[in-house]
A and B are shown apart, each in its own frame.
Chain A
Amino acid sequence: MRSSLSTVAYLASVASAARFMLHMPATQLVNPSTLPSATHATLQSSGPPQDAYITRSNSFNFNNVSTGSYLATVHCRDYAFEPLRIDVTVEETVEGSGEKKEMIRAWQTFIGNEWDNKGEGRGEGGNGLVVEVKPLGQKNYYQERGGFSPLSFLKNPMILMALFSMVLIFGMPYLMENMDPETKAEFEEMQKKGVMGSGTTNTAQQIQNFDLASWMAGKTDSSSRGASPAPQSKKRG
C-alpha cells in the first residue's frame, strides 16, 4: 500500500486534467428528467469538494479533475444514490513508450468501510468516460399517521380480551342452562371444591396488594415483606 501511496503522490505532481461524466440512466425506479435542478454530484478528496449540477441530459460533468482518489456522491432530494470511488491516474498508454494519458476508474464504495474495500467496478477508461450512477431507492420523508379503521380496532388485544370476556359473561349462563343435569351437578361440585375459585381469589388479592414502588425499585424478594402490610390495612379498612 505504501508503494502505491507514493506513486499516487508522484502522479499528483504530474499536471493532468481528466474529464469524465456521471450519467443517470432512466430506469423503472426513477425518471431522471423529473429530478429537481438542485440535484448535484460532489467529488471529495482534499480541500473543497468539486461540484457539478445536473444537466439537461441527466448527467454530471466533471472537467479538470487532477489525479487522485475521489469519493463521488450524488445528492438528490428525491432519491438516494450509491457512493462511488473514482481514481484518476496518469499512465503510459503502452508500457515504455513514455506517452502518458489519464486513466479513470470507478468502483462502488461503502460508507463506514475501509477505502480499499472496493465493490463492483463501475467503469474504466480514458478521458470522457461515462460512469453510470444507480439510485438505491426513493427517499420517504414523511411519517404516516395511524388512521382509524374498524379492523385495526378489532385487532387490538384489549378489545379482543374484552370481547372474549363478553362472550364468557353472556354465553356461560346459556351454556349452563343447556347442560344436562348430571354435568351441571358435577360442575357445581367442582366449583364448591374450589378448583377454579380459590386460585382466582388469591391472584386477585395479589394484584390488589401489588407494591408498585418496590417493583420499580427492582426488589425481587419474596412476597412476605411486600404483601404483609396490605392485609392489615385491609382489616382496618
Chain B
Amino acid sequence: MRSHALALAAWLATASAIFLDDAYHTDFHYALLGLPKHDATFFQKPYAASKASLLYTVSDNGTIGAVNPKDGALVWRSASGPSSKGHLRGGDEQDTVVGAVGDRITAWSASDGRIVWESRADGAIVEDLEILEQEDGITNSDAKDAVVLLADSSPRVKRLDGKTGRAKWTFTDSSGDTPFQVSTSPTTVYYISLHSPLLGGGAKLRVTFLNPVTGKKTDSYTLSSEGEISTKDNILFAGANTAAPLLAWTDKTNRVLKVNIIGTKGVSSFNAPANVATEKIVLHAPNRVNSLAHFLVEYQTATGHSAEVYHVDLKQSSVSKAYSLQHLEEKGTFATSTAGANVYFTRLTAAEVTVVASVSEGILGRWPVNGSPALAGAYPVHGVSEVVVKGDVASAARSAVLFSNGQWALIRNSEIAWSRPEFLSGTVSAVWAELPEEEALAQELAEESHQNVVGAYIHRVKRHIRDLEHLPSWLQSLPPRVLGNLVGMSQETTVEDIQHDSFGFHKLVIVVTDKGRLAALDVGSQGKVVWTIDLHQFASDATFQSPSLKAFRGYVEVKDVDLSGSLFINSTTGGLLSSQDVKTTLPITTKGETLVTYSLVDGELKGNLGAGPSFEAVWTFTPPPGERIISYTARPAKDPVASIGKVLGDRRVLYKYLNPNLVLVTAVADSARRASIYLLDSASGELLHSAAHYGVDVSRPIPSTLSENWFSYSLTIDSASATTARGYQLVVSELFESPLPDDRGPLGALSNSSTVQPTKGEAAKAYVLSQSYQIPEEVSHMTVTQTRQGITSRELLVTLPASHSIVGIPRQVIDPRRPIGRDPNANEQAEGLAKYAPMIIFDPKWHLNHKYELFGVKNVITSESGLESTSLVFAYGLDVFGTRVAPSFAFDILGKGFNKVQMLLTVAALFVGVLFVAPLVRRKQINSLWTT
C-alpha cells in the first residue's frame, strides 16, 4: 500500500506544476459573491475591539461573505445557498453575524467565517431574521439572541439563543396569515403578517405583539390596508431595531405613502411628488436603537430621483415631514449612516456624493466622484455608507455601492477605491474570441489569398509599408522593454496594449450572464474586463434566462429561448452587428459532401441530413429500455492530432483510431443503478463501442470528455455495492485501429473508406483499451487542454467541487496501456509507462488553482495560445478563473528562471577570456611554426 503510494509519488514528481513566482501573475481569480442585497449589506466591526470594520453582505445567490473595505478583497464567504432569499444581521459589538438562507440559520464568526452554530428549520423557509439588540431596555453584552420568522403551513416565530442557536421559545401562528416580517423594539417583538380576507381583494396588515422573554402573544392590531396591499411587494419597509419601528406601504401607482409607527394604530398618509410619475419608492431608516427616529423616503422616477426626510415624534406618535431634497435629473440612491444618535443620509449619484444630516437640509459634505472606466455609463442602484462628521462638516465618507452594470464599488470621498465585477457570478456561457489585431491581420491575409498573384503582391507590399508607421513608436518602446526585461520586471505587468502579445496569451473570453449582460475579459492580463454591455439595449423587450454564445470570426452570436432570432455582437468592441454585416459562415461543405447534424430529441439521439430538425433523419440512437440519455459529448471542433500513431518502446507503431465524428453518449438506468457509455459515429450513427457500469449512483453527475483517440468519464459508486470499493471512479479508454502494432486493421490497405456506406460488409471498429481508477473526490466537469498543433501532451482537466479546485491530470498517468500486476518491461519503460495502480491521488502540484478556492465552477473551457507548449484555461460559474498550463513544460519560451543578466555577464566574461587567451594562442602558434 505504502510502497504503491511512494512509487506513484516519485513518478509523479516529473509532472509540471505552477512555479511560485508565476502564481498570481499568469493566472487570475475573481472570488465573487453575487449581487449584494440592499437590506443585508452593512459595515460592521468583526469583533468589539477591532479598529477596522468589514463589509458584510448576502448576495442574490445566497452567498454570505465579508469583504475588506480597503481593497475589496474577499475575507471569507460561505458556500452558495439553495435559495436567493437570504438574510444577514449583525448585532452591535458582536463577534458573529447571523445569516439565514433557505432553511438554514447559521451564526458565522465575523472575522474568519467559521460556523459558530447552525440551526435547521426542517423544510420551512426563513422569511425574516432580526437580532434582539436590547432586552427590557438593557443592552445585552453577551451573545445577542436572534429572532427568526419561518414561513411554513403554520408560520412560526422563534427566538434562538445567541450562543448555541437553540430555540428559547416558539410562537406558532395558526391564523392562516401570510408571514411577512418580524421587527423588534426594546420591549416587544412584533410579528407582521398579511391577513387576506376570504373574498379576494387586498390584504390587511396584522401586527402581533410578542413578549420577548416568553414568546407569548400580548396584543395585536390590524391596519386596514386592503386598498393598497395585495402582495408582499407592496410593502416598502418594516423598520428594524429603531426606537420607533416603522411600517410603510404604498399603492400600486406609487402615489400615496402610508406610514404606521409599529405599536400604534395610527396611519399617516403622504403624497408622492405629483409632477412626475414615481416608479419606485424606497424608505431609508437607521437601524440603531439609540439613533434619532428620522427617516428618508426616496422617490425614483424613470430618469431621476428626489427625496423627503420625515421625523417621528415618539411622544405624540406622529410623523411629520422635515424637509425635502430637490429632484435631480439623474439616477441615484441614498444610504443611511449613524454616529451616536445622529443620523446622516448620503446621496449617491454617478457624479457626486453628498452628505446631509437628518435634522436639517444643509449639506455637510460634497465630493465629486472621479469616474472609472469600470463604471462608465452606470448609475448607483443601492448602497451603504459610513460617514465621519466633525462638528458641522463631514470629513470623510465611504460608500459601498452596487452599480447598475453589476459592479460593486467602494467610493471613498471622491475616488473609486475598488470595484468588484459581481455581475460575472451569473455567467452561464463563455466562448473564446480572437483579438482585434489578429482578426484584422487574418482578414487582410484572407483578402490576399482571394486575389490574383500580382494584386496580392501589391496588397502585401502596401500592407508592409503601412505597418512601417508603427516603427518609430516600436523603436521608442524598445529601450524600456529591453531594460524592463533585464531588470527582471516581468512583461506581464507592463503589457498595457496587446500589441506586444507575441505569444498569443492575450485572448478574449466573451461571457454572458443569466441577466443578459455580455462582457469580454482578457485572460492574458489578469482577466481585465475589456468591455461590457447590457443586451437589453439591443433587445429591450426580451427577458434573458439562459443565453448561449457561439463564436465566429470577429463576432459572437447570442441566442436565448425568449429571443426571436439571434443577436450578433462584435467581439472586439461590443457593438451590435446587423445580420447583413455578418457573413453567414456555415460549415463549408465541398461538392459531394453532406452535413449530418444530430440532436437529442425525445430521449433519442437523432442524426439529420443537413442543418435543422426538419431534414430527414438518417440515423437514430435509442438507448435500451429503461435507460435514458443524460448527456452526449463530441470531439472538439478544433482538435489537432500531431501523430497518427503511438510509437512503442521497440519502435513499432500502434495506430490511433482517429475519427472526427465521434460522439460519446452517457445513459443511465435508474432502477438498475447502471450507467452505460456508448461511442457513436455521428456520420453513420453506428455504435462503435459500449460499456456498462453497475452499482453506480445515477443521481450524481457523470461528466465525460472526448479528445483525439481517447475518452474518459467519471462515476460515483453507490453505497449499495458495499463489497467493492467505495468512492469515485475515473475511467479512461483509448481507441486504436488494431490491437497489433504496425497493423492498420481491416481498412489499412484501402485508400478510401466510408463509415456511411461500408464496402467490406462491416466497417472497421476500434480496438478499445480501458482502465479505471479510484479517485478521492467527485468530479463535476471534465475537459482536455488544447494546443496549437497537438504536439504537446494533453492534460485532463477535472473540476473538483468538494475541494474547490481544478486539477490537471497528465495524460501519461491515465494511459490505459499501463501494465497491470507487473512492473513495466524495458520497452514500456522507454514509453514512460508506469505500473498500474488502482487509485490516482491528486497531487497538489496538479492543482491549476493552487491557493485559490474556486466556488461553483460550472464549466471549464480551453483554447490554444500562440505557443505550442501552452494552453489557455478559463473557468466560470460563480467564480471566474483563468490560467495557462504547459503540460509538457514551457519548452518554447524562456521562463522567469532564466537570468538574462547572468547570461550577459557570462558572454562578457567569455569575451574577456578570449581577449586574454588570443595573444597566448597566437604566440604558441608562431612558436610551434618556428620550432618545427
Q: Is the CB of B651 within 8 A of A218?
A: yes
A224 on the B face (CB < 8 A): no
Please report the C-alpha to C-alpha distance between residue A223 and residue B775 in the assembled complex, in whole angstroms.
51
With known contacts A47-B699, A145-B20, A111–B120 Cβ distance under 8 A: no
- Report Cα–Cα, A66/B326, bound state, in Å: 62
* B51 to A: closest C-beta gap in Å: 21
Stretch of A124-132, A135-143, A185-193, A194-202 on the interface side: A135-143
Whether A205 sits at the interface, judged by CB under 8 Å, is no
Expressed in whole angstroms, the minimum distance between the Cβ of A16 and any Cβ of chain B is 16
Give CA–CA (A101, B438) in the complex, Å: 70
A105 within 8 A of B: no
Instruction: Please report the C-alpha to C-alpha distance between residue A140 and residue B78 in the assembled complex, in whole angstroms.
Output: 25
Cβ < 8 Å to B, chain A residues 56-101: 56, 61, 63-64, 68-71, 73, 75-77, 80, 83, 85
A73 touches B777 (CB 8 A): yes
Interchain CA distance A45-B697 in the complex, whole Å: 9
Q: Are A115 and B725 in contact, CB atoms less than 8 angstroms apart?
A: yes
Q: Are A37 and B719 in contact (CB under 8 A)?
A: no
Chain A residues within an 8 Å CB radius of B118:
61
Q: Which residues of B contact A83 (CB under 8 A)?
A: 727, 776
> Given A71-B727, A77-B853, A112-B837, does the pair A142, B722 have CB atoms closer than 8 Å?
no
Consensus secondary structure, chain A interface: loop
User: Contacts of A141 on B, CB cut-off 8 Å?
Assistant: 17-18, 23, 844-845, 847, 850-851
Interface segment out of the listed B301-309, B403-411, B809-817, B893-901:
B893-901
**Residue numbers in A under 8 Å from B803 (CB-CB):** 75-77
Interface hit among B106-114, B252-260, B542-550: B106-114
A36 at the A/B interface (Cβ < 8 Å)? yes
Report how far A63 CA is from B117 CA in the complex, Å. Answer: 12
Chain A residues lying within 8 Å of B19, measured Cβ to Cβ, are 142-145
CB distance from A173 to the nearest CB of B (A): 11
Q: What does the 1/0 interface line of A145-164 toward B look like (CB < 8 Å)?
A: 11110000000000000000
Using CB atoms, name the residue of chain B closest to A45.
B719
Q: Which residues of B contact A64 (CB under 8 A)?
A: 120
> Is A110 touching B78 in the complex (CB atoms < 8 A)?
no
Cβ of A145: which chain B residues have Cβ within 8 Å of it?
19-21, 895-897
Q: How far is the CB of A22 from chain B (nearest CB, A)?
A: 13
- Please pick, from A51, A112, A139, the residue contacting B725 in the complex, using a CB distance under 8 A: A112
A46–B775 alpha-carbon span in the complex (Å): 17
Assess whether A143 is in contact with B839, with CB atoms less than 8 Å apart. Answer: no
- For A56, give the chain B residue with the smallest CB separation: B114
For residue B726, which residues in chain A have a CB less than 8 angstroms away from its CB?
A: 44, 69, 71, 85, 109, 115
Determine if A112 and B723 form an interchain contact, defined as CB atoms under 8 angstroms apart: no
Q: Are B115 and A53 in contact, CB atoms less than 8 angstroms apart?
A: yes
State which of A8, A38, A76, A146 has its C-beta within 8 Å of the C-beta of B722. A8
Q: Smallest CB-CB separation from A2: which chain B residue?
A: B723
B841 partner residues in chain A, CB cutoff 8 A: 111
On whether the beta carbons of B723 and A143 are closer than 8 Å, the reply is no
Q: A111-B774, A111-B841, A114-B724 are in contact. Are A77 and B21 (CB under 8 A)?
A: no
Determine if A143 and B16 form an interchain contact, defined as CB atoms under 8 angstroms apart: yes
Docked pose: A5 CA to B718 CA in angstroms: 14
Interface positions of B from 462 to 505, Cβ below 8 Å from A: none
Within 8 A of B (CB), among A208-229: 217-218
Q: Does chain B have a CB within 8 A of A1?
A: yes
CB of B18 within 8 A of CB of A37, answer no
Contact flag A112-B853 (CB < 8 Å), given A46-B719, A141-B845: no
Question: Which of A37, A46, A71, A76 contacts B76 (CB under 8 A)?
Answer: A37
Which of chain B's residues have a CB closer than 8 A to the CB of A73? 776-777, 802
Once A55-B115, A56-B115, A146-B897 are accepted as A-B contacts, the answer to whether A5 and B853 lie under 8 Å apart by CB is no
**CB <8 Å contact, A113 and B120:** no
With A114-B724, A142-B20 already in contact, the answer to whether A63 and B120 are too (CB < 8 A) is yes
Chain A: minimal CB distance from B620 (Å) = 32
- In the complex, the answer to whether A142 meets B776 with C-beta atoms within 8 Å is no
Q: Which residues of A contact B (CB under 8 A)?
A: 1, 5, 8, 36-38, 40, 42, 44-49, 51, 53-56, 61, 63-64, 68-71, 73, 75-77, 80, 83, 85, 109-116, 139-148, 217-218
Given pairs A111-B725, A145-B21, 15 additional interface contacts (CB within 8 A): A36-B853, A37-B78, A37-B113, A46-B699, A63-B120, A69-B719, A75-B804, A77-B804, A109-B726, A111-B839, A112-B839, A142-B845, A143-B845, A144-B19, A218-B651
Name B's A-contacting residues (CB within 8 A). 1, 16-21, 23, 76-79, 109, 112-116, 118, 120, 650-651, 697, 699-700, 716, 718-720, 722-727, 773-778, 802-804, 837-839, 841, 844-845, 847, 850-851, 853, 855, 895-897, 899, 902
| Smallest CB-CB A-B distances: 5 pairs | A112-B839, A37-B113, A143-B17, A139-B844, A141-B850
